A and B are shown apart, each in its own frame.
Chain A
Amino acid sequence: DTAVSQTPKYLVTQMGNDKSIKCEQNLGHDTMYWYKQDSKKFLKIMFSYNNKELIINETVPNRFSPKSPDKAHLNLHINSLELGDSAVYFCASSQGPTTDTQYFGPGTRLTVL
């Protein structure tokens, strides 16, 4: 069973479109995260939710909007996609917001044409 899953695995879209990436974890964790990994493999935190409440909101364009319908799900919606949004987006979860170990999903490769 996959602990942290993301859909879709690949997403190819045109500039200006709106798209969503979904994440689910079955670990019973309270905290979930979205990371962006650029072409140089650098991983940067974007958002974090703890029990459906936003606790980390890094400096990202407000075209990016996370939504957590329940603590097992954290979705990422992106409006008006730009070329620079092309990256791999990873979801992760941890037992709590200060719990050290984070478990990552397989990633979603977003390509904006």
Chain B
Amino acid sequence: GESVGLHLPTLSVQEGDNSIINCAYSNSASDYFIWYKQESGKGPQFIIDIRSNMDKRQGQRVTVLLNKTVKHLSLQIAATQPGDSAVYFCAEKMDSSYKLIFGSGTRLLVRP
């Protein structure tokens, strides 16, 4: 069946350190992967995405890495700030499907 999962349900980091949030996906046919950030009481907010023909994509302070060999996706946040505290979701999609399949989420806590 379809599933996207995360290894760590909660990640605690010191402010200023780099954070790495991991995600394992099971559908090797997925063409597209996306990371969302969900702050308390709000809806998921787009952070960064990557297509399956790439292995790395960088944004502002964030980098997504895709390893299709082991079906692994990671989100790296540089110089983590208190405002980065949230639940982070990875999601996957096939181009032939309308559905975005979400993982179970990782809570990131930033210690001051």
Contact = CB atoms under 8 A, between A and B. Distances in A.
Contacts, number: 51
Contacts of A104: 36, 43-45
A77 interface: no
B98 A98 contact: yes
A101 interface: yes
B44 A43 contact: yes
B100 A102 contact: yes
Interface residues of A, number: 24
Contacts of A103: 46
Interface in A81-100: 90, 92, 97-98, 100
Contact of B49 (A4, A43, A45, A100): A100
Interface string B26-46: 000000101010100111111
Interface string A97-113: 11011111111000000
B87 interface: yes
Contacts of B87: 41
Interface of A: 4, 31, 40-45, 48, 50, 55-56, 90, 92, 97-98, 100-107
Interface of B: 32, 34, 36, 38, 41-46, 49, 87, 89, 93, 95, 98-100, 102, 104-105
